[in-house]
Each structure stands twice: as structure tokens, then as C-alpha cells.
Amino acid sequence: MNVHLQEDLSKHTLRADDGIAKGADLLKVENISLSFGGVKAITDISFDIKKGEIRAIIGPNGAGKTSMLNVINGFYFPQQGTITFRGEKRRRARASETARDGIARTFQNIALFKGMSTLDNIMTGRITLQKRSLLWHALWKGPAEREEIEHREAVERIIDFLEIEHIRKTPVGRLPYGLQKRVELGRALAADPALLLLDEPMAGMNLEEKADMSRFILDVNQQYGTTIALIEHDMGVVMDLSDRVVVLDYGKKIGDGTPDEVRNNPDVIDAYLGVPH
Amino acid sequence: MFYRTAGQFKTSYSADQALFPVRQDAVLLIVILAFAWIIFPLTASEFTFQTLLIPILIYSLAALGLNILTGYAGQLSLGTGAFMGVGAYACYKMVTLMPWMNPIVAILLSGVFSAGIGVVFGIPSLRIKGFYLAIATLAAQFFLVWLFEKWAWLYNYNASGAIQVPNLDMFGVYVAGPQATSFTQYYVVLAIVSLLTWVCINLTRGRPGRTWKATRDMDIAAELIGIDLMRSKLTAFAVSSYIVGVAGALFVFMWRGAAEPNLFDIPLSFRILFIAIIGGLGSVLGNYLGAILIVGLPVVLGIVPEALGLEITSATVEHLNVMIVGGLIIFFLIIEPHGLAQLWRLIREKLIIWPFPH
Ligand SMILES: Nc1ncnc2c1ncn2[C@@H]1O[C@H](COP(=O)(O)OP(=O)(O)OP(=O)(O)O)[C@@H](O)[C@H]1O
Ligand SMILES: [Mg+2]
């Protein structure tokens, strides 16, 4: 498995190799506020994500975690504040462009393409890397076929890595929930992201599935060097996996630091025990 | 037995991506091609050419065009008939303005006009979806047919308001117009339909097909993985309308011989939509199966009872046809949304494991 990944690293220039040193700021979120009509989902939040780390975002239901990811990947444009990704300030742009810049994600509610197989779903992750025009694809033979095979090879390495060879050709709608989550991770990985956003990748999984998923997340981080932002409710998982944790509550940041610091932070303890404000 | 795949292993991804990973499929295709290219044209009567072979091919192509848009990219259109009309009128204007033009080139170019107009009418799809988009395409349908009637330049100011296909020849052989034989026209249609089918297979199995299907299955997720939805939808409109336009040019130039504006009205749009639905949305093969059924059924209904000595009036045949087609559409929409193509897939899977189902 690791052999495959190393091959991958040597064969492709990963977007993770973007000249930003490990430990330097990959993403900076500054004074972000986002509201929907009257509902304030996020209020004046700032934090950073360093290259190479696993950064957890935690908080009770409705704290604004998913909204934060939606801001980071350009799905929502915040009313206030700035996002700086790889040293460049984000302008207002279509969400599809953020993906092209190297931010990939998975979704809290699985968002796979139901009518397609596992293989095709993961192949869609590479759409932004496929450059041949429609006309070449109409001909198939030649450049388009070469491009398809090249990307298929990359996708097969991901399929091996996630241990889903047996469901390669299965329509994803027929897969059990846990496997669907894994395919979704595969689709995000296929984009060779510089920053991977995972929204509750283990929600609704049993212990064994959670252990597998944790292992994949750690391997991705260590072998590919991919920076990961992770939303997760299972505190055990968060404490084991993450390098640093941001804690949100009612749209505000109430804690930020290593898992140990956060665990002992009185505001965080209050939020989780439901002390009224 | 027939479909045993044991012993056929893939050793490369290109082999696995091949159109027919299972050898028997390739054999079946060769048999079908042999019938289409050799046996049918050599044995068919004028009646068979005109009531079955030529229209089945043309309707298949039109349904294939619609299927790219509706089945693959998920954008429902009720304007197929009008886009066929654009292709037909474009072809008519080209061959009458430039009589030296090679008729096959003219037919292939006429799709460019329908593609352009398809993209224009596809712009609303960037804002609206589903039912509302269907209504917008219906507006295109009404507008275009109205234009075919009112814009006399389109039909060269003929008093009848219709377009009449002139005699067109290629290397001394008539391929369109009253002088052309069904035999020649069949081959022209077959060649163009084969070519465009091959193009569609290529487009749908690679990146463009995945882009369209992602747009269809979940547009928000598609956008968040980097798909430009506007491009995805507009290319689907362009490719689809191109094919539909060429089908429209063939429809008039290789089969009907003449056309009035109302030929391209809503009943034609629905006929194509029914073929795509019964054949199977999101399939290439299905369009052929659907066209065989829709075109063949009334012919069979007209012949079989007579051969059995039953007396059925042609009005009854017509009613029977409508009832059966209606029933089939309800059946497929409710029970098997992927149509005849899916039924074939199931049969094929059964054959692969037959006679040992476990
Ligand atoms: N599209 C939207 N329109 C209106 N309100 C929204 C929208 N998205 C989120 N909200 C509101 O913003 C707040 C934060 O929601 P968000 O989904 O970000 O929370 P979360 O931390 O991800 O919660 P959970 O743990 O339940 O997933 C909630 O009050 C929610 O109702
Ligand atoms: Mg959430």
C-alpha cells in the first residue's frame, strides 16, 4: 500500500508540494462573520491551518462548523473577514474555482453521484486535472485515451489504498453507508488536494469502520503530506488524530490549541456540558 | 454459457476501458453491424426501407441527441422537434444557397446551427431546473415553429410554405430528392448515424460524460469538486442540439422529402422523448431499442392481425398503438426508469452466470 503511495508521490507533482514549508500557514481565516438573513452562523472567527497538520474543528450541534467549511471552500462568501490560502487573499469567485485551487472536501450528508459507479465517482475527483478538450474526447483515440488511462492509474492507487477494489464497478447507491463515506473520501483524494476538508467523516459508523477511517486519514496526512481540516463529534477520535483543535460554540470561537489545552479549557467544558449563556 | 466470461482477464486499464470488455459483446456487435451494413440493405424491400430501416435509424439518432441532454446531463427538454427543424431548415438553406455543396457536408454542418440555437435556449438552465426548464424549452419549441412559419426566407418564399428537397447528387449518384433511391439513402443515414453514435460513446465514457452525469446527479457537489456547471450544461446543450439538428436534416432530406413547419411541432418532440424514456435515459444502446419499438410497433400491428386473418381497421390499429405505447411509458417510468437498455443489461447479467446462477 505504501509502495503505491510513494510511487504516486514520485510520479505526480502533487499540489501538496507547492513550495509552502511544512508548518507554515497554508490557510488563514481572519475575522470571518457569516449570517443567513437574521441568523448569525459565524461571528468574528479567526484561526489558521498550518501546512501538514490535521486541524480539528469541533463544537456542539449548530455551532457553525459546516458553515465554516462552506466559507473556506468558497461555497459561501462571508459578509466580513478575509480568507488567505497559500498567501493569496480569496476574492469572490465561483465555488468551482476554489476546488481548482486545490481545496477538496467531503460532506456531512453524503454527496456522491448516485447514478455512477465507485470508479466513476472517484474519477470525477480528477475532472479538474483533465485538460483535453471535448473534441479530443469525441475522437477518443490518442490524447484523450492516454489522459483517461493516466488518471485511471492514479484513481486505482486510491482504490487500492482505501481497500475498495471489490466495489470498483458497483453503483454507489447500492453501497452501505460506511463504504459510501469511504468512496467520498476517495473522490476528494483524487483531486490531489493541498487542503482536504472532512465534514464528519465518521458520523454514523460502527467502531470498526471508525478505526479504518481514522487509519486512512492518518495515512493520507503522513504519506501524502496532505493538510486536513476535520470536523468530528467523537472526542476520542479528535484527540487521537488532530494536531490542533478549534472549538466553536454558537458561531463564536471559544477555544484553540492542542487537544490537551482544549480539553482543559473551562469555556469548552462549559459548552459541552451545556452551561447556559 | 453464451456469455461465459471465465478465462477473460484484463491485464491493462485500457483493456478494461475498452468498449466491450466481454468478448461476446464484441461478437454480438459484429453480427448487428453485418446485418445493418450488408444483409438488410441487400434484402430489404422499398416498404422495409421506408417504414422501418431508415426511420428507425433517424429516430434513434434524434433520441440519442436528446439523451445526451436529458439522460446524461439531467436537463429535461421538450423542444427536440423544433431543434430538428432548425437542422432541417439550415440544411435546406445551405443546399439551395450553395448548390455546389456536398450534401453530406451540408447535413453535418446543419447541426452547427441547431447547436448554436440550442446553447442560446440552454442559457435558462443556468438558473432554473426540472419542470421550469422543461417549460422554458417548450417556449423554444413554440417560438421556433412559429419562426418556421413566419420567416418566409427560410422556405425560399414557396407559396406552399413548405420546404421541398431538391435532387442532390454526390459523385454522380443522387443521395437526396425525388431521384434518390432508398438503398443509397439508407447507406448515407447509416454512415452518419454510425459516426455520431461512435462520437457519443466516446464522449459519454470519458471526462465529458462524467462531468454531465455529475451535474445530473448532484449539481452542488459537482460544483464543489470543481466542475463549472455553466460549461457542463451548455456543452450538453451544444452536443445534444448538434446531434438532434443532424437528425432533423436527415429526417427531411433522407426520408420525408418535404416538410411543413408543423412537422416539427410538439408531437415530434414527445415522440423522441418517448423513445428515449422507453429505451432508457442515460444509455446509448437504449435509443436504438426504443426507436425499434416505437417505429416498429405500428408496422407490426398493421401486419400481424392481417396475417392471422383478423380484420382490424386502421383506426383500431392506431388506437392500439397509442394504448400500448402509453402503457409502456407508464410501465417504464414506474417500474424500470432505465428502460429497455436496463432490461437488456439484466438479461445479459443472467446470461453471464447461466446456467450456474451461483
Ligand atoms: N443555508 C442556511 N440557511 C440558514 N441558516 C443556516 C444555513 N446553514 C446553516 N444555518 C444555520 O447556521 C447555524 C450553524 O449551522 P452549521 O450547519 O454550520 O452547524 P454545525 O456546527 O455544522 O452543526 P452540526 O454539528 O449539527 O452539523 C445553525 O443555526 C444553522 O441553522
Ligand atoms: Mg455540520
Task: Give the total residue count for chain B.
Answer: 358
Mean pLDDT of A224-253: 91
User: What's the pLDDT score for residue A17?
Assistant: 58
High-pLDDT (> 90) share of chain B, %: 55
Whether B153 shows a pLDDT value over 50: the answer reads: yes
Report the alpha-carbon distance of residue A180 to residue B54 in Å, rounded.
45
Residues of B within 8 A of A140 (CB-CB) are 202, 205-206
Higher pLDDT, A267 or A229: A229
* CB < 8 Å to B228, chain A: 94, 96
In angstroms, the CA B203 to CA A126 distance is 16
DSSP result, B306-328: HHTT----HHHHHHHHHHHHHHH
Pocket of ligand 1 (CB under 6 A): A 36, 39, 41, 59, 61-67, 108
Predicted pLDDT of residue B357: 58
Question: Nearest-CA neighbor of A259 among A57, A64, A27?
Answer: A57
| More confident: A11 or A147 | A147
Q: How far is the CA of A179 from the centre of ligand 1 (A)?
A: 26
> Of A39, A69, A230, A249, which is best to mutate to test ligand 1, by the most ligand atoms within 8 angstroms of its C-beta?
A39
CA distance B338 to chain A (A): 11
DSSP annotation of A85 reads E
| Containing structural domain, residue B140 | 46-265
The bound ligand whose nearest atom lies closest to the alpha carbon of A41 is 1
- Model pLDDT, residue B15: 66
Q: Are B213 and B203 in contact (CB under 8 A)?
A: no
- For residue range B233-253, what is the model confidence (pLDDT) as tens digits? 999 999 999 999 999 999 999
**Residue-range definition of the domain harbouring residue A206:** 2-110+194-273
Q: Confirm whether A75 is domain-assigned.
A: yes
Q: Cα–Cα distances in Å, from B159 out to A19, A95, B155, B166, B350?
A: 73, 55, 9, 16, 59
Q: Which helix (H) or strand (E) holds A202?
A: none
Confirm if B136 and B121 have CB atoms less than 8 A apart: yes
- B346: its cell numbers: 439484466
pLDDT for A113 equals 95
A243 part of a folded domain: yes
> pTM of this prediction?
0.90
Q: Report the pLDDT value the prediction gives residue B312, as an integer from 0 to 100.
A: 78
Task: Check whether B220 has a pLDDT greater than 60.
Answer: yes
Q: Is A195 helix (H, G, I), strand (E, B) or coil?
A: strand
Alpha carbon distance A157, B47 (integer Å): 56
> Measured between CB atoms, does B239 come within 8 Å of chain A?
yes
Tens of pLDDT, residue by residue over A107-131, are 999 999 998 999 999 999 999 998 8
Instruction: Spell out the residues 6+ positions from residue B91 whose beta carbon is closer than 8 angstroms to its own.
Output: B106, B107, B109, B110, B248, B249, B252, B253
What is the C-alpha separation between B319 and B328, in angstroms, rounded?
A: 14
CB-based contact A233:A245 (threshold 8 Å): no
Q: What is the CATH number of the domain that holds A259?
A: 3.40.50.300
Contact B309, B73 (CB under 8 A): no
State whether residue B252 sits within 8 Å of chain A by CB.
no
Q: Model confidence over A136-168: pLDDT tens digits?
A: 999 899 898 999 999 999 999 999 999 999 999
Q: What is the pLDDT of residues B21-39, one digit of tens each?
A: 677 778 888 899 989 898 8
Cβ atoms of B171 and B102 closer than 8 Å:
no
What percent of chain A has pLDDT above 70?
Answer: 92
pLDDT for B19 beyond 80: no
Contact A140 B218 (CB under 8 A): no
A176 assigned to some structural domain: no
- Tell if the CB–CB gap between A127 and B13 is shorter than 8 Å: no
Q: What is the mean pLDDT of residues A12-36?
A: 77
Q: How many domains does chain B have?
A: 1
Residue B191 inside a domain? The answer is: yes
Neighbours of A72 (CB within 10 A): 24
Alpha helices in A73-191 (DSSP H): 95-100, 118-124, 134-139, 143-161, 177-190
pLDDT at A13: 43
User: What is residue A45's three-state secondary structure?
Assistant: strand
Ligand 2 centre to CA of B213 (Å) is 26
For residue B338, count other CB atoms closer than 10 A to its CB: 19
In this structure, which amino acid lies at residue B144?
L
| Confidence check: pLDDT of A6 > 50 | no
Inspect the interface and report whether the beta carbons of A113 and B214 lie closer than 8 Å: yes
Q: What is the pLDDT of residues A177-210, one digit of tens each?
A: 999 999 999 999 999 999 999 999 998 888 999 9
Mean pLDDT for A212-219 is: 94
Confidence band, pLDDT 50/70/90 cuts, at residue B126: confident
Among the bound ligands, the one closest to the CA of A246: 1
Nearest alpha carbon, ligand 1 atom 6: A36
Q: How confident is the model at residue B351 (pLDDT cuts 50, 70, 90)?
A: confident
Which is more confidently placed, A246 or B337?
Answer: A246
Separation of alpha carbons B251 and B57, rounded Å: 10
Asked if pLDDT for residue A51 goes beyond 70, the answer is yes
Question: Which residues of chain B are within 8 Å of residue A111 when distances are taken between CB atoms?
Answer: 218, 220-221, 224
Q: Report whether pLDDT(B82) > 70.
A: yes
* H or E segment to which residue B333 belongs: helix B314-334
Total domains in the fold of chain A: 1
pLDDT band at residue B10 using 50, 70 and 90 as cut-offs: low
> Would you call B225 and A145 a contact, using CB atoms and an 8 Å cutoff?
no
- Please report whether residue A139 resides in a domain: no
Are A140 and B206 within 8 A, CB to CB? yes
Instruction: Tell me the chain A residues in contact with residue B282 when contact means C-beta distances shorter than 8 Å.
Output: 115
Q: Closest approach of chain B CAs to the CA of A274, in angstroms?
A: 34
Contact B14 A149 (CB under 8 A): yes
Region of A192 please: left (phi>0), alpha (psi -120 to 50) or beta.
left
Q: With respect to residue A154, please indicate whether it lies within any of the assigned structural domains.
A: no
Q: Please tell me which of the candidates A116, A125, A148 has its beta carbon nearest to residue B225.
A: A125
In this complex, which of A112, A127, A134 lies closest to B227 when CB atoms are compared? A127
pLDDT confidence of residue A12: 45
Say if residue B199's pLDDT is above 90: yes
B20 domain-assigned = no
Please report whether residue B306 resides in a domain.
no
Instruction: Map B56-123 to HEC letters.
Output: HHHHHHHHHHHHHHHHHCCCCCCCHHHHHHHHHHHHHHHHHHCCCCCHHHHHHHHHHHHHHHHHHHHH
Average confidence score pLDDT of chain A: 87
Confidence of residue B314 (pLDDT cuts 50, 70, 90): confident
Task: Answer yes or no: is pLDDT of B6 > 60.
Answer: no
- What's the confidence (pLDDT) of residue A114? 92
Question: Residue B239 domain-assigned?
Answer: yes
* B contact residues 258-287, partner A, Cβ 8 Å cutoff: 282
pLDDT at A9: 41
Instruction: Determine the average pLDDT of the residues in B178-184.
Output: 86
A133: left (phi over 0), alpha (psi -120 to 50) or beta: beta
Query: Which cell numbers hold the place of B125?
Result: 438552465
Q: How many CB atoms sit inside 10 A of residue B74's CB?
A: 25
User: Tell me: the pLDDT tens digits for A55-89?
Assistant: 999 999 999 999 999 999 889 999 999 999 988 88
Residue A187 lies in a domain: no
